[in-house]
Amino acid sequence: MLSGTQGRRELILSHMRNAQVAEGVRAQIDLHLDRVRRRLGFDVVFVARVAGGERRIEAMSAAPGFPTDHRVGEVRALRDCPVVLAAALRDPAAFAGQISEADAGPDAPDTVVGVALHASNGSLFGALGGIVSAPVDMAAITTAAAAMAVSLDLLHDHAVAAQRVRGLLHEVIREQRFYPVFQPIIDVATGDVIYREGLTRLDTTDDTSVPQLLAAAHSVGMGPALELAFARAIIDADEGWGDNAGIAVNLSETTLHSAEFDRFLTQVEPGLTVELTEYEPVRDYRALAGVVARMRAAGLSLAIDDAGAGYTSLRHILDLKPDVLKMDAQLSTRVDTDPEAIALFRALQTYCDETGTVLVIEGVERHEQLVALQSVGVRYVQGFHLGEPEPRLGAQRG
């Protein structure tokens, strides 16, 4: 366990800096693998890390058009990876304690080649190899493996740091070192709260922010786990308001595509609104639309958050057909002073009226903004002028 909140903050910041270095290293390895594949005649060649009885593909190069199920990030048991088994047959001592003679078997297929990969200190990193359709110069592939030692050192250091970050994140989730706050979305025509957006605050004394923690979580494959831990805390705390307003939680596309979210859908009550965050581009609109359809079948609604900012594009609106469209706060700051801004909001309100979409304007912090928005028919707003984020009743933090 890490000692002190400052240590946690430094770990996260250091990991994110090193992640950029690691991406550069992976880019160099990708170029190296492309050269190895073309020069030595591989159909597919990859670098695999070996640890804990499994191998993980860290980098890969495949010939154009060659069909393969392999992908970067793929994990398999060592006994199920012919490339690692071929490497173990060539160098049993390198894989001692990792692969038994029975698993390695007496022979490797002629189409599979593998050699051990070592870090510069001689420790085993994994294997380099792949699929070939003709004999390969084994001396050349061994030389190619040796040339990667320094790059493997950097990847190893990053992997160690990533494991420490995972440990920190498990600790944060297990001990729930965070708490929810809620900010109302107001119907200015009636003064009613139509729903509350659940937000998260970290229960620490350091300078780590929620965006930093989420970025670190996504970089080590724990983004869905952390986002859904935040969401569950928000749902569990939704009581004591004295009205029937719903709540919303913020989730990313990565989380919506995850197995964790599939389980979440079977556990959550109808009526929840999911606000799709804007920090990453949508990779596959058709697949995401399928997730949204399953959400709606479970009684959930979709809100597009921070429209007009980050990676949130007009295609989000047209392809996903959100129930709620939330305009980014930066767009509303000048609505009372800029005729073009007010024209934009007038057009957006017309679109939402015609499509049955609820338009919410974020970032309303002044009375003048509110008056300008009401003048073009905007009815639903969110911002400090109408209500700050606060814990539920009876759950204030000291």
Residue 164: inside a domain: no
pLDDT tens for each residue of 3-13: 455 466 777 76
Q: How many CB atoms are located within 10 Å of the residue 150 CB?
A: 11
Q: What is the DSSP letter of 342?
A: H
Max Cα–Cα distance, the chain, nearest Å: 80
Give one DSSP letter per residue of 25-55, joined into a string.
HHHHHHHHHHHHHHHHTEEEEEEEEEETTEE
Q: pLDDT-derived band of residue 2, with 50, 70 and 90 as boundaries?
A: very low
Q: Do 149 and 197 fall within a single domain? A: no
pLDDT at res. 304: 92
Q: What is the pLDDT of residues 185-214, one digit of tens each?
A: 999 999 999 999 999 999 876 678 899 999
Distance CA 344, CA 348 (A): 6
Domain match, 37 and 149 both: yes
pLDDT tens-digit readout, 329-355: 888 899 999 999 999 999 999 999 999
User: Is the CB of residue 385 less than 8 Å from the CB of residue 365?
Assistant: yes
Q: Give domain status of residue 180, yes or no.
A: yes
Identify the CA nearest to 127 among candidates 107, 105, 104.
Answer: 104
pLDDT band per the 50, 70, 90 thresholds, residue 276: very high
Please state, for a pLDDT cut of 90, what percent of the chain lies above it. 61
Mean pLDDT of all residues in 268-282: 88
CATH number at residue 220: 3.20.20.450
* Domain enclosing residue 74, as ranges: 5-157
Same domain assignment for residues 127 and 205: no
Q: What is the DSSP string of 212-224?
A: HHHHHHHHTT-HH
CA distances from 67 to 36, 44, 47, 64 (A): 19, 9, 18, 9
CATH number for 51: 3.30.450.40
Q: What is the pLDDT of residues 240-268, one digit of tens each?
A: 667 889 999 999 999 999 999 999 999 99
Average pLDDT over the chain, rounded to an integer: 87
pTM for the complete prediction?
Answer: 0.76
Q: pLDDT by residue (tens digit) across 78-100?
A: 989 999 999 999 999 999 888 76
pLDDT at site 231 = 97
Higher pLDDT, 2 or 148: 148
- What dihedral angle (degrees, nearest 10) is formed by the CA atoms of 14, 256, 262, 16? 0
Please name the residue ranges forming H helices in the chain. 5-40, 82-90, 101-104, 138-146, 149-174, 210-219, 223-236, 253-256, 259-267, 285-297, 314-320, 329-332, 339-355, 367-375
